Every structure is written in C-alpha cells, then in structure tokens.
Structure 1
Amino acid sequence: MNCEKIKEKINIRTVLESFNLFPVKENRKTAFYFALDREEKIPSFSVDFVKNKAFDFGTGKNYDIISIVQQINQCSVSEALKYFEKFDFSVQKNDEIAEASQGKNYSIIKVSEIRHPALIQYLKSRKVYEQKDLVKEIYYELNSKKYFGIGFFNNSGGVEIRNKYSKICLGKKDVTLAKNELSENKEIIIFEGFFDYLTFKNLEKKEKSISDYLILNSTAMLFKVEETLKNYGKISLFLDNDANGNSTKEIIQKKYKNVEDCSLLYWDFKDLNEWFCAKT
C-alpha cells in the first residue's frame, strides 16, 4: 500500500497510540501531546484529528502519520511503510477510532466475563489467561459498526480495549488505581499498560500482596497522580524499556524518594509481559 492510501486509511490518533502516546489535553477535533523527540513539562505537539496532521510548536515541524513513525523509529519512509503492515486496514477509518476516545459516536452494548474463543486465545497468547477475572469482555458499537475486545476500566469510567488487531480507549483517558486494603500506603507498583499488571499478578499469585497498583494506561497520564504518589513510602516501577518508559522513570526518580527500577528484571525485553512470554 502506498503513502497516500495509508494516510487515507489510518488516523493519526491510532498511530500515536501504537507508540503508547496519548493526549494531555484535547477536544473533539484537536489535542496536545508531549513532543516526540524531547522531554517537556508543557505539551507542544498539536494534533489535528480532522486533517490527520500534527505540528510541533517547539521545532516548527509539520507531521503526517508517516513522518511521525519516521521520527519515533528514526527510520526511512520505506521502513515506516513496513511499520504500518501490522495495522488492520479493515477496521481503521479516519475519525472512527479518534472519536471513540472522545466519547463520541460509540456505545457499550454488553460487558461480561471473558468467554469469546478469540479473546481467550489472545489472553493465552499473552500468557495471562489466569488473570481473566481482572478484565472484561466488551461489546461496543462505534459509528454504527459493532466490535468486541478485552476491556480494562480506568478511574474515570473509560475502558481500554485490546484485541489482536486494535488498541483504543472508549471514553475518557485516565489511570487505573487498584487499592489493596492491606497496603496502608506503604508501597505502590506502577505499570504502563494493563497486560504488564496482569503479568505481575501471575508472578505474585503465590504470595499475599500488601501493595497498591497503578496502571498508567499511558505515561502521559502521570500528571494525574503526582500528588497521590507522595503518600507512598516506596514506589516500584515496571515501565517499558524504551525512550518513553525511560523518560517517565527519570521523572519519577527525580521527584520521589525510595524509587526502585524493576525493569532490570527484563532489561533485554520491551516490557514485563514480553519477557514473561519469552521465559515461560
């Protein structure tokens, strides 16, 4: 598929979400993200969902979805085109997925326990089927089309949806804080995504936990819990081994005391789940 077809078929929000990048503030048509190539406290990367383009106010550079992949992966156009091979073109439509995260044009039809064979198989492929009770089977309608996936709810009632082909958020983006009645704010364990959280629950299943758990659902959501984290005596980090995860780790280590970087456990893998799948 050529560049123009890809730009037509895939929306910019979906591309950014594939790199675990989410807006810091947004409205129906536009949003601000943190810059792709540097650490910053005030987001300067402006995304226009209607035009499917972006502008970096810090550098003055314009972006489309292909140049975004080039910037993040530091690759050529041909290599960027290969990156898009993993996208499911049958369901990607401009503005459909974008509006899902805005709470527009979607409705949740049914929430149930995980029963669908495809979702069971996907959980098994990620080796977290034992934790199926921590997620839900979600059926939803998006712009008059029906879909289903594995759902994980956040603190604002939004739901992270995952299946083999898609990664979106229905409703408001937020963190998920799972409190433990035994924790007494002694320790909090932080993950980027819920599959790493499910993986960790697999690893600790034989021990009684006294920790709280924080799933960011996007490192851009860290600002929502900056005050909350001050209440904990210890912070354990299970973040991704990539530029985004490393940047978030550095921010937390500078701001809080007694922070443990647990990514050393899976230093040669992208994240905890990838390491777990390879080792078991």
Structure 2
Amino acid sequence: MNCKQFNSVKLEEILVSLGHHPTKQNEKEAWFLNPFYTETQASFKINKNLNYWYLHSEGIGGNNVDFMKKYLNASVKEVLEWAEKQNFSSFQQQNVIHSINSKPNYQITEIKKLQNEHLKSYLHQRGLSKVVYPLVKEIHFTIGEKKLYAIGFENFSGGWELRNSFYKGSLQKKDISIVNLNNENQNETGKRIVVFEGFMDALSFVEMKPFFIGDLLVMNSISLLNRTKEHLKIYSEIHLFLDNDKAGETCKNEILKSFPEAKNHSEIYALHKDLNDYLQFKNNTEIEKKQQIDLKSKQEQEESEINQAHQTYRRKR
C-alpha cells in the first residue's frame, strides 16, 4: 500500500478501528474527541468530502498519513507498514470496483500439515519448535504467476494469515482467530482467554506455556478490535499480550475500558516490541550462555591436557 492508496481510505473507518467514535456528525463532517490527548469537548473534525482532518485545539490537520504519523509517532514507512496489515473495507471496496467481473489474482492450491523444512527453519528462527506445528498449516498458493508457500494460520471465516521468511500477508476474508488449547470444555463461569495481535505471538505463548488450558484469540488486525471485544463478553478471565507500540497501547486501553477485570501482561516483555521478539531474545541469550559454558569447558580441558603433557615431559627428563 502506498500513500495515495492509504489516503483514499475513509478516515472515519481508521478512527473507529482504533476505538474512537464520533460525538456528532452529518453528511459533510464528523466530530471526535481529541484522539491524541484526553479532552472533554470534541475538537477533532473530519471533512468527509475531502477526507481531511483538523484539530482545532492545536491548529493542525492533514490527510490519513499525517494523522497516523502523529498517532503512532512513526515515519511514513512505518505508517504504510501498519496500514498494510489492516483490513479497511473502504479500501477493499475500491479494489472490488477495479476488479469487477474479474477473478482474484491469487489461488490456494494446497493445504496440508507442516512438512516443508524451510518453513520449519523459519519457525525455529522465530524461537518456535515442533510444539506449535499442530496449530498451523502449510499453504501452497499462487499470486499472479508466482508460486509460493507459507505457514498458514486460519481465522474464523476460513481465511488465512500467511508468513514465511520473505512474505507476510493474508488470503481470503480477514477475521479474528480462536484456538482452544488442550481440548478442555470450559464452563461458562470459568472460561479463560488470552489475547494477541498476531499469530506469531500466540505461537510464542504456546511455546512458553505448552500446558495452558483455555482459549487463544488472535486479532489478526487491530481494525478488528470491536469484533474482538464482542467475542470477549463470554469470558470471565481475560489476559492481554498486545504489542508494545502506540497501536497496541490504544488497543489494550480500549479492551481494559470495556473489561476492567482483564489483566495486562505486556510488562513481561516491556523492553521488546512483542512477545515473539522477547522469546527470540530469551532463546538467543540462553544459546549464548550455553556457548560460553561450552567454550569455558573446552578451554579447561585443553589446559588440563597441556598440564598433563608438561608433567609427562618432565618425568621423561
């Protein structure tokens, strides 16, 4: 997605996906409370015809890219990377108009158990072992003329989140994913769930806590926040492992506002972007320690052999 494409998405939809709703609106404009800071009177206005925003309390405004740069405190590149992960319906509608009466340029050719060694190696690089293999699939697909394969994580609507060492995307309909771990039939008054933004973080949790009993919810996009909150209503125990960035912080706060009893665990990986980043760091640290121990042991063994050789030489003299 480039700047022109992202700026064509309805700004109202972006704000709602982030948990901000208009206090008043008409055909031409919509008013919101300041999304950057706390305020009691709406000073953030959207011109619906121009798809531009203006913040009266600060005297600033602009397009979608300008808004997300300030909201995420990020560069244009980082904003577009964030936008690429979302599932904005107003952007999809434009794509549908473009490709009306034409077939999608992708096709899933095979879905099977994870077997490909390159994909297994990719998971290993992300700190994940065969413990997580049953939770994913190996997806073979084509995009245009390209034949590709990736690790697939299924969502509620039968769509797939896809990852390999050089590709990150999704196919078919975007939706949240729910996974029940260890086949427990939780009762209605004791249901527990753990919430993540992406499936790599969910797999990291399974890697770290393979005997956890309960459900995992993967949002797959923070634009699915409202869908997530709707599903969380049936759970009495909610645990949050969201990303340590502006979008993750906003998402966490919106969930805690609706479910004050939910527990946030992001302090566990406070120095890292997300749970998977923390797991990789933890694994690399343990490997480094083991290497240091092995090196020390080897050095001690070599010193011992040298000393023994020296003593033998002295006895011969």
Unpaired runs of at least 5, structure 2: 23-29, 31-49, 56-60, 82-90, 284-317
What CA deviation, in whole Å up to 9, does each residue of 1:66-99 have, x standing for no partner?
x688556646xxx7569999xxxxxxxxx9xx96
Give TM-score scaled by structure 1 length: 0.69
Alignment partners' CA distance in 1, 2:246 and 2:175: 21
Equivalent residue number for residue 272 of structure 1: 275
Q: Which of 259, 279, 286 is matched with 1:256 structurally?
A: 259
Contact 1:99 1:105 in 2 (8 A): no
What CA deviation, in whole Å up to 9, does each residue of 1:45-77 have, x standing for no partner?
xxxxxxxxx95456662357xx688556646xx
Equivalent residue number for residue 209 of structure 2: 204
In the TM superposition, what is the alpha-carbon distance from 1:39 to its structure 2 partner? Answer: 5.2
Q: RMSD value over aligned CA atoms?
A: 3.7
Contact 1:112 1:138 in 2 (8 A): yes
Q: 1:247 to 1:155 in 2, by over 3 A?
A: same
Equivalent residue number for residue 188 of structure 1: 193
Q: Which has the larger radius of gyration?
A: 2
Equivalent residue number for residue 25 of structure 1: none
What CA deviation, in whole Å up to 9, does each residue of 1:213-239 have, x standing for no partner?
111111211211323212111110010
Equivalent residue number for residue 151 of structure 2: 150
Equivalent residue number for residue 172 of structure 1: 173
Q: Which of 208, 214, 218 is matched with 2:217 structurally?
A: 214
Equivalent residue number for residue 26 of structure 1: none
Alignment partners' CA distance in 2, 1:168 and 1:84: 14
Q: 1:125 to 1:257 in 2, by over 3 A?
A: same
Identity of counterpart residues, as a percentage? 31
Contact 2:72 2:245 in 1 (8 A): no
Equivalent residue number for residue 50 of structure 1: none
Give the 3-state SS of the residue equivalent to 2:153 in structure 1: strand
Give the counterpart letter for 2:274 in structure 1. D
Contact 2:129 2:207 in 1 (8 A): no
Alignment partners' CA distance in 2, 1:106 and 1:31: 26
2:42 counterpart of 1:41:
no
Equivalent residue number for residue 136 of structure 2: 135
Alignment partners' CA distance in 2, 1:108 and 1:246: 35
Give the counterpart letter for 1:119 in structure 2. L
Q: 1:133 to 1:149 in 2, by over 3 A?
A: same
Give the 3-state SS of the residue equivalent to 1:34 in structure 2: helix
Q: Decide which structure has greater helix share.
A: 2
Unpaired runs of at least 5, structure 1: 1-9, 17-28, 45-53, 86-94
Alignment partners' CA distance in 2, 1:152 and 1:250: 26
What CA deviation, in whole Å up to 9, does each residue of 1:120-170 have, x standing for no partner?
211010011321221111111112322111111100011001112221110
In the TM superposition, what is the alpha-carbon distance from 1:115 to its structure 2 partner? Answer: 2.3
Query: For 1:43-62, what aligned pairs fall within 5 Å after superposition?
Result: 55-57=51-53, 61-62=62-63
Equivalent residue number for residue 51 of structure 1: none
Q: 1:134 to 1:99 in 2, by over 3 A?
A: farther
What CA deviation, in whole Å up to 9, does each residue of 1:185-210 have, x standing for no partner?
421111111111111111112x3x33
Equivalent residue number for residue 233 of structure 1: 236
Q: Which of 232, 243, 247 is matched with 1:244 structurally?
A: 247
Alignment partners' CA distance in 2, 1:184 and 1:170: 34
Give the counterpart letter for 1:237 in structure 2. L
Aligned length: 230
Equivalent residue number for residue 162 of structure 1: 163
Q: 1:252 to 1:153 in 2, by over 3 A?
A: same
In the TM superposition, what is the alpha-carbon distance from 1:116 to its structure 2 partner? Answer: 2.2
